[in-house]
Amino acid sequence: MIRHSLAGALLSLALFAMPASAQPAPTPDHLRAAREVVVLSGLSQSIESLYAEFVGNVRASLATRPELKKDMEEVLTTLKAEADLRRDEMLDSSTRIFASKMTEADLKEVMAFFNSPVGQRYTSNRTRALEEIYVVLEPWSTATSNRLFDMFQAEMRKRGHQL
């Protein structure tokens, strides 16, 4: 759960950190460049992994019910088409968002980075680095929220408010 929340937050930060310039409707080449950035950056892997995670969670939650295995597998197989449709929708949305935030020329520079040796090293290490970040992020997030709430409560008490 935290992974998806963090991934969304990181994506949002990345998108809003980009310069927002008024651009005309993207050309097919502009959209191709944006789609390539979505793929090369690894964002598409996160989108594409959703169904596999869903299947893994369903199988794990029903592992103690072997009598459901056959039907479960059949239903999961039929849901794959829906998952693929939803994946394609999100890839298209991501492509359009990147195209709206960056010029075609900028996207091509990003593509060049991801195709460079250092960009390829970044991409190959990104997943493992993010997994390690998630491990420290969860307890940090909880501790920080608790600390801030405690400080908020204390300050409100000083001002005569009981929460």
- pLDDT, position 8: 55
Give residue 157's pLDDT. Answer: 95
Residue 3 pLDDT? 45
Instruction: Supply 68's token pair.
Output: 């459901």
Give the DSSP H/E element, type plus range, for residue 37: helix 28-40
What pLDDT, on the 0 to 100 scale, is given for residue 5?
47
Domain range list for the chain: 24-115, 126-163
Which DSSP string do the residues of 95-137 spell out, in sequence order?
Answer: HHHHHHHS-HHHHHHHHHHHHSHHHHHHHHHHHHHHHHHHHHH
pLDDT digits (tens, 9 = 90+) for 108-158: 999 999 999 999 999 999 989 989 999 999 999 999 999 999 999 999 999
19-62 pLDDT, tens digit per residue, is 545 567 899 999 999 999 999 998 898 888 899 999 999 999 99
